[in-house]
Structure 1
Amino acid sequence: MLRLLLALALTCLAAPVAAQDDLQSILQIHAEEVASPGRRSVGVVVEDLLASGLPSVPIFLEAWQDRDIVQNTEDGLFYVEGDEQDGTVTLLDIASREPAATAPEDAVEEVRPNGGVRRVIGAALVQFRLSDPDPDARRDALASIARRPDADQIDPLRGSIEGEENARIRSEKERLLNILVARYGATTEARVEAIEALSGVITSDARAALSQILETEDWVSADAPGGNVAGPLTLPRAEAYARLVDADLAPPIVTPAAIRDALLANVEGDSVAGTPLVTLNTDAARRAAYDRLAADGRADPFVTDAQIDDSIAAHRFDTVYAEADTAVTAAALQTLQSVDRQVTLNQTADLTLDALSLASIYFLAAIGLAITFGVMGVINMAHGEFIMMGAYTGYVVQQFVTDYTLSLVIALPLAFVVTAVAGIAMERLVIRHLYHRPLETLLATFGISIALQQLAKNIFGTQARPLTSPDWLSGQLVINELVSISYIRIAIFVLALGFLGLLLFILNRTRLGLEVRAVTQNPGMASSMGIDPDRINMLTFGLGSGIAGIAGVAIGLYAQVTSEMGANYIVQSFMTVVVGGVGNVWGTLAGAGLIGVLQKLIEGFNPSNTLAAQTYMILFIILFIQFRPRGIVALKGRAAEG
C-alpha cells in the first residue's frame, strides 16, 4: 500500500507524465534495490516492472543485465552512461538513448548486478521476448532458451503458450517446455510426463536433454552403491584392478620403475639389502633385492595374481545414473530408445533421398551415352565433354541474360542444340569412319575429349565459372532436422523424370523411335525395309549428345563449371550403362538407381571419404558383371551381340 501511495504521489508531481518518467517512478520506489541488487531483493523490483506493462521495461532490463545502467547521485535517477569529457559525463535516457542530463564524473555510480541477479533479469526478459508481437523476436527468444536452458525459464515459457497464435511457434514452445520440465521439473510426475511427451521428438536438443538425464558415472566399492544403479560395469582384469588402485581400495602393482626407485633409495655403500650393486644386472636379481627390502618393511610388497583376483572379486563395479530418481531415468531410457528408432528411420529416409538425387544426376549424365552406345556400339570417351559444353553454354547465357530464371529457360534448349550439333559433327567427321573398330574409336574420342578440354581452358580459363541458380531454386526443403534436400536436386530429379518420359515417348510413339529400335535390333533387316542406318546413327548420336548438354546445365547449377567437370562423370556414366544394360532406357534408369544407392550406402559408413566409396563401388560392379554381363535389363540385337 505504501508503494502504491508513493507511486501515486510521484505521478502527481508533474502532468502529463512520459513513459520514461513512469519507469523512473518505479525505479525510485526501488532505488536502493536497483542500485545495489541482490538475488533475493531483485525479485520485487522485477515483479513491479513487469506489472507496469511499460514498453520501456524490456529496454531497461536489457541495459541492467548488460551492466550499462548508472545512477546520478545528484538527482537519484537512473540513466545509461554516455561519453565523458573534462570530468563531465553525458547521461542518456534509458529508453531512447538520447542525452538527458549531465553530471560530474564522481557523481555517477555504476550499477553492477551479480550473476544471480542477472539470471533473474534474464528470466524476466525471456517473458517479454516470448510475448513480443514480432514472430522473429519470439523465435529468437526460443533459440536463446535452447542454447542456455535453465529452470527459471519454465514459468515464463509456460505463461507465453496460452496466448500464442502462431501454430508453429506454439508447437516449438511446447516442445521446449517439455525439454525444460524433463530436466528441471519440480515433481517426478511432471518430469515423467514431459519425458513421455518427447517420445516423438527427434531434434538434437531433445535427444541431448534425454542423454543428460541418463548420464552415468562409474562406481567402485566393496558395498552396493546407494544411488540409481544403471547396471554392472564389465571391465578387463587389468583395468578393473587399476580402478581399485585409483580408489585406494587395493595396493598398487609394483612396476619396474618402482623397483628401480626403491633400490636407489636404499643404497648403502656398494650394496642394497646385502646384495652387491654389481650383481643387480638382471631383472631376477633386482626383484630378489626388492623382495628383501619389502620383507624389512622398507618397500611395498609385490602383489600376486591371487591377491589381484581376490581384490576384484571382493568389490563391485557398477554404473550409476547422475539422476537419482529411478522413475525419471526409466522414462528417459524408454523414450530415448523410441527416439533412436525414429532417428534411424529418418536417417534412412535422408539417405534414400540423397541416393535418388545422385541417381537422377547419373541418369541424366548417362542416358545419352546409353543411347549412342546401345544403337551404334560406339565407346564415346568425349561424352563428359558434352556435359561440360552444356554447362559452359549455361554460363555464357547468364552473361547476357541477368534474369536467372529466364536464362535457365533459354540455356536448356540452347545447350541441347549446341551439343547436338557438336555431336553430329563429331559423328560425321570421325565416328562414321571407325564403326566396328572399337579400339580406334575409343582412342579417337579420348583424343577429342582432351582437345575439347584444352579448348575450354583457352576460351574460359582454368578457374571455375559460376552458373547461378534462380532464387526459387536456392535453399532446401527441410522436412525435419534429419531429413532435407536442396531444391536444385529436386529440380534435377524432376528433370530426369521428364527426360525419362520424353525418351520413352520418342522411342515408343514416334517414327524416329521405331527406326532407332529397328536399327538397334537388326540393322540389316532395317536397311532392307528402307531405313537408312547411317542417318539413324547420326540422329541418335546428336540426340545423345544433346541430352548430355542439358545434363551439363543441370549439374552446373550445383557443381563447379570447369573444363574437367565432364571427366568427373564419364566413369560413372559408363558404369551406369554397363550395369543397367546398354541401349535401354529402363536399364539406364536401373543402373543409375543401383549405383546411386550403392555409393550413398557405402558413403554412410565413411562420409568423409568419397574416394573409398567409389573404389568399393567399382569392385562391387566388377563382381556384378561377372554374374550378369549383359546388365540388369539385357538388350537383344546388335548392342547385345557386341
Structure 2
Amino acid sequence: MSVTRTHLAGITALLLALVAPLAAAAQDADAPIQRLLQEHSALIEESSRTSIAPAIDALAASGLPQAQSVLQRWRAKEMWRNEETGLFAFAEEIDRDTLRVFDFADGAEIGERPDDDWEQLKPNSGIRGMIGAALVQFQLSDPDPAMRNRALDSIERDPEESHLVALRAARDGEAEPAIARRIDRLERLLTIRFGETEAQRIEAIESFAGDLSVDGRAALTPLVATRIEPSETEPEGEDIYRTLRPGGDILTREAAYDLLVSADLAKPRIDRAAKREALVSNIDGGRVAGVEVAALDSEAARDMAYAALAQSGAVDAVATEAEIDETLERFFFVERYVGAPAAVALAAQEVLRGIEFRIWLNQLADLALDAISLGSIYFLAAIGLAITFGVMRVINMAHGEFIMMGAYTGYVAQQLVPGYTLSLIVALPAAFLITFAAGVALERLVIRHLYHRPLETLLATFGVSIALQQIAKNIFGTQARPLTSPGWLDGSLAFNDIVSISYIRIAIFVLALLFLGLYLLVMRGTRLGLEVRAVTQNPRMAASMGINPDRINMLTFGLGSGIAGIAGVAIGLYAKVTSEMGADYIVQSFMTVVVGGVGNIWGTLLGAGLVGSLQKGIEWANPSNTLAAQTYMILFIILFIQFRPRGIIPQKGRAAEA
C-alpha cells in the first residue's frame, strides 16, 4: 500500500514531537554556563526587576566565554527554556509553530523543534536596561576602540553601581590615552556616588577641585542637598549646615510654621482672608459667637471670635497669630545635609565653593570676551564712519545702509558662486566695489552740495537711507536672507565649559584688526592718506599745493563707504540680513566714533571697546530687558560726553579746530 504525502507529514510531525524532549535532554546540561543558569532559574523565570539583579550579576561576573552571548540573547528576547527539562537555549522562530534551537554551551544547532514545549523569556524594559548595564564590562574590553567609547557613552548616560567595578578593571589595561582619560574620569565620578567608603568618595571629590565641567558639578551638587527640620532641643551633629531663624528670606515665618504643622508639632493655621470669610459666614443677628460685629476691629478680637466658633464646633480649630509666634519661639530650625554622610557632604561643599569662585572668574572672562567680540563688530561697522564723519565731518545717516548693501552682496554672491568659501572670497571685493561706487555717487550727487551744513546733510542722508531700505525690500523682500558661513567657521573655540567664542566672531575680530592696519597704512603711508589729512586740516592750503579737494573728498567718502560694505559681509555671517539691519548698527557706530574721539582711529578702537563692554555689562546685569540695556547705554554715553565732549582721545592741532 502506498504512503501518501499527508501520511508522511503526519508521521514526521509525530517523530519530531517524540524526539524533541530527547534532543533537549541531549543538551550539555553539565556545561558551566548551563549550570549557572540553572542555579538562578527561579529568578530568571520570575523575571522581576526587583529580584533579577543577582542572576544578571552572576552571569556578568562569571568570566565564562558564553556569558556575553547569553546576556545579549536574553536582552534581545531570543532566550528560551524547555518546560520539560528546564534547560535554557537560544532560538530563532521559523514560523508560528516552529523554532530553530541552538545550545548555549557551544552554539551548536540542536535542530528545528515545535514551540509547544518551549517558553520564551521576554524581559521588560527595566530588566533589559539592567542587562545592558552588565554588558558594559564586555564592551570595555572589546578590541575595537569605537566599541569601548560607545560603552563609556552608555555609562555616562545611565551610570550604575556595577559599572564602577568594570571601569576599575578596564582602567589599567587601556592602551588608548584618550579612552584611558575618559575611563579615569568616569571612575572618579562614579566613585563619588557609589564609593564603598567615605575615604574613597572624599578622595574622588577632592580630585575635582577647580574642575569647571558640568558633569563634575552635577555629581557634586546632590551631595550637598539639605533639608530644614524643626527641633524642640538645640540641634547638634556634624551634618548641620546652618541654623535658621524664622522670618528671613530663607525661612519665612509662614514656611517655618508649616513645617511644624506637617510634622504634627503644631495646630494648623489659617490666613487672614479665610478667617474673615469664616467669621462672615457665621454672622447671626449682627453677632459672631456672641461678639458684636462692630467689635471685631482688630486681629486679636477676630482671633477670639474664631476660637469661640471652633470651641462650638462651627469651624476647625486653628492657631491664632499669637499662638503661632509663641510656638515658633519654642522650636529651633536647622538645615541638615541629607544627600550624603556629613564628611562627604562637607568635602563636596568645600570643593563646590572653590568651583563657584572659579566659575565667577570664568564668567567674568567670558563676559570680557563677549565684550571684545561685540566691540570688534562695532569697530568694523564704525571704521568707515570714522573716515566719513571723523575725517570729513559729514554726518552720513545712510552709513548703516552701506553695511546692509554689503551683506546683500554677500547673499547674492552665495547664490551665484558655488562653495561658501569661494563665494565669500568673491563677496568681499565685490561688496567693497559696489558700496564704494554707491558712496562716490552719494557724495557727487548729494553731499558735495551740503558741505559745512551738517543739519541739511543729516536730513538728506536720512532720506537716502529710507530710500535704500525700500529698494532692498522691493528686491529681496522683507524676510531675512541667509548668509551662510563656510564650514571652517562653524563651531566655537571652547576654553572650558564656561568660556567659549565662535569662530565667526574670531574671524570678525581678525578682520577688524586687518582693517585697522589697512587704515593706518593708507592714512599714514600713502599719498592719498597724506592728501586726505592735508585737505582735512586746511583745504585752501592743500588746494594751493596742487591737491584737488573735491577729488579727495570723493575718494575718502567712497573709501569709507567701501569699508562699510565689507563690514556688512562680515556682520551678515553673524547677524540676520534684512533691509533694516543697518539701523541696528548706525547708532552704535556714531557712539563709537564720538566716544572715542572724532577723527582718531585709536579713539574709535577704544570707543568700540567701551561701547561693547558697556552694552554687555548692562545686558548681564539686566538680561531680561534688552530695551532697557540700550536706554541705559545711551544715557551713559550722554553723561560721558558731558564730561569729555571731545572723546577719549581728542584730536590736536588744526584738525581739532576745524
TM-score (norm. length: structure 2): 0.83
1:476 matched residue in structure 2? 492
Report matched runs for 1:435-584 at 5 Å.
435-584=451-600
Does residue 52 (structure 1) correspond to residue 65 (structure 2)? The answer is: yes
Does residue 212 (structure 1) correspond to residue 226 (structure 2)? The answer is: no
SS at match of 1:52: coil
Mean Cα displacement is larger for which, 517-526 or 550-559?
A: 517-526
Q: Among 70, 88, 95, which residue is 2:97 paired with?
A: 88
2:165 matched residue in structure 1? 155
SS at match of 2:54: coil
2:152 matched residue in structure 1? 142
Report matched runs for 1:617-632 at 5 Å.
617-632=633-648
Does residue 125 (structure 1) correspond to residue 135 (structure 2)? The answer is: yes
Superposed displacement of residue 288, structure 1: 5.7
1:296–1:73: structure 2 CA closer, same or farther, 3 Å change rule? closer
1:30 matched residue in structure 2? 37
Superposed displacement of residue 426, structure 1: 1.1
Cα distance between partner residues in 1 of 2:45 and 2:429: 73
- The letter for the 1-side match of 2:182 is E
Assess if the C-alpha contact under 8 Å between 1:79 and 1:92 holds in 2: yes
SS at match of 2:429: helix
1:271–1:488: structure 2 CA closer, same or farther, 3 Å change rule? closer
Tell me the matched-pair count: 611
Superposed displacement of residue 218, structure 1: 0.5
Cα distance between partner residues in 2 of 1:92 and 1:392: 68
Query: Which blocks of at least 5 consecutive residues in structure 1 are unaligned?
Result: 1-9, 15-20
Cα distance between partner residues in 2 of 1:530 and 1:311: 97
1:170 matched residue in structure 2? 180
Superposed displacement of residue 531, structure 1: 2.4
1:377 matched residue in structure 2? 393
1:94–1:618: structure 2 CA closer, same or farther, 3 Å change rule? farther
Identical positions, percent: 56
1:254–1:595: structure 2 CA closer, same or farther, 3 Å change rule? closer
Superposed displacement of residue 546, structure 1: 0.8
Assess if the C-alpha contact under 8 Å between 1:374 and 1:520 holds in 2: no
Superposed displacement of residue 400, structure 1: 2.4
1:513–1:260: structure 2 CA closer, same or farther, 3 Å change rule? closer
Cα distance between partner residues in 1 of 2:101 and 2:599: 79
Assess if the C-alpha contact under 8 Å between 1:386 and 1:549 holds in 2: yes
Q: Among 266, 272, 296, which residue is 1:283 paired with?
A: 296
Superposed displacement of residue 329, structure 1: 1.8
Q: Among 410, 413, 422, which residue is 1:406 paired with?
A: 422
Cα distance between partner residues in 2 of 1:419 and 1:100: 82
1:355–1:291: structure 2 CA closer, same or farther, 3 Å change rule? closer
Cα distance between partner residues in 2 of 1:103 and 1:282: 93
Superposed displacement of residue 255, structure 1: 5.8
Does residue 365 (structure 1) correspond to residue 374 (structure 2)? The answer is: no
1:4 matched residue in structure 2? none
1:132–1:502: structure 2 CA closer, same or farther, 3 Å change rule? farther
Superposed displacement of residue 491, structure 1: 0.9
Q: Among 224, 229, 233, which residue is 2:244 paired with?
A: 233
- The letter for the 2-side match of 1:594 is L
Superposed displacement of residue 137, structure 1: 4.2
Assess if the C-alpha contact under 8 Å between 1:347 and 1:482 holds in 2: yes
Assess if the C-alpha contact under 8 Å between 2:60 and 2:135 holds in 1: no
1:509–1:255: structure 2 CA closer, same or farther, 3 Å change rule? closer
Cα distance between partner residues in 1 of 2:379 and 2:208: 41
Cα distance between partner residues in 2 of 1:27 and 1:67: 18
Cα distance between partner residues in 2 of 1:400 and 1:560: 20
1:177–1:605: structure 2 CA closer, same or farther, 3 Å change rule? farther
SS at match of 1:564: coil
Superposed displacement of residue 173, structure 1: 2.5
- The letter for the 2-side match of 1:619 is L
Deviations 1:61-81 (A, max 9, x none): 355346564557699664476
Mean Cα displacement is larger for which, 402-411 or 284-293?
A: 284-293
1:589–1:265: structure 2 CA closer, same or farther, 3 Å change rule? closer
- The letter for the 1-side match of 2:423 is S
Does residue 612 (structure 1) correspond to residue 607 (structure 2)? The answer is: no
SS at match of 1:218: strand
Cα distance between partner residues in 2 of 1:511 and 1:92: 92
Cα distance between partner residues in 1 of 2:271 and 2:403: 68
Assess if the C-alpha contact under 8 Å between 1:222 and 1:316 holds in 2: yes
1:430 matched residue in structure 2? 446
1:121–1:500: structure 2 CA closer, same or farther, 3 Å change rule? same
1:488–1:221: structure 2 CA closer, same or farther, 3 Å change rule? same
Cα distance between partner residues in 2 of 1:583 and 1:259: 72
Superposed displacement of residue 560, structure 1: 2.0
Mean Cα displacement is larger for which, 421-430 or 75-84?
A: 75-84
Does residue 199 (structure 1) correspond to residue 213 (structure 2)? The answer is: no
- The letter for the 2-side match of 1:187 is T
Cα distance between partner residues in 2 of 1:338 and 1:385: 49
1:295–1:137: structure 2 CA closer, same or farther, 3 Å change rule? same
Assess if the C-alpha contact under 8 Å between 1:90 and 1:102 holds in 2: yes
TM-score (norm. length: structure 1): 0.85
Cα distance between partner residues in 2 of 1:70 and 1:369: 80
Does residue 602 (structure 1) correspond to residue 633 (structure 2)? The answer is: no
Cα distance between partner residues in 2 of 1:338 and 1:551: 42
Does residue 395 (structure 1) correspond to residue 406 (structure 2)? The answer is: no
Superposed displacement of residue 266, structure 1: 12
1:205–1:582: structure 2 CA closer, same or farther, 3 Å change rule? same
Assess if the C-alpha contact under 8 Å between 1:259 and 1:287 holds in 2: no
Superposed displacement of residue 180, structure 1: 1.5
Assess if the C-alpha contact under 8 Å between 1:518 and 1:526 holds in 2: yes
- The letter for the 2-side match of 1:318 is V
Superposed displacement of residue 134, structure 1: 4.7
Superposed displacement of residue 362, structure 1: 0.8
SS at match of 1:411: helix
Cα distance between partner residues in 1 of 2:611 and 2:98: 72
Cα distance between partner residues in 2 of 1:522 and 1:80: 98
Report matched runs for 1:243-262 at 5 Å.
243-253=259-269, 257=274
Deviations 1:319-366 (A, max 9, x none): 000045322122111111111111112222222221111111111111
Assess if the C-alpha contact under 8 Å between 1:72 and 1:103 holds in 2: no
1:115–1:397: structure 2 CA closer, same or farther, 3 Å change rule? closer
Report matched runs for 1:315-326 at 5 Å.
315-323=331-339, 325-326=341-342
Assess if the C-alpha contact under 8 Å between 2:469 and 2:579 holds in 1: yes
Assess if the C-alpha contact under 8 Å between 1:377 and 1:639 holds in 2: no
Query: Which blocks of at least 5 consecutive residues in structure 2 are unaligned?
Result: 1-22
- The letter for the 2-side match of 1:233 is L
1:5 matched residue in structure 2? none
Superposed displacement of residue 552, structure 1: 0.9
Q: Among 339, 342, 358, which residue is 1:342 paired with?
A: 358
Superposed displacement of residue 462, structure 1: 2.5
1:70–1:511: structure 2 CA closer, same or farther, 3 Å change rule? farther
SS at match of 2:220: helix
Cα distance between partner residues in 2 of 1:258 and 1:430: 77
SS at match of 1:40: helix
Assess if the C-alpha contact under 8 Å between 2:152 and 2:183 holds in 1: yes
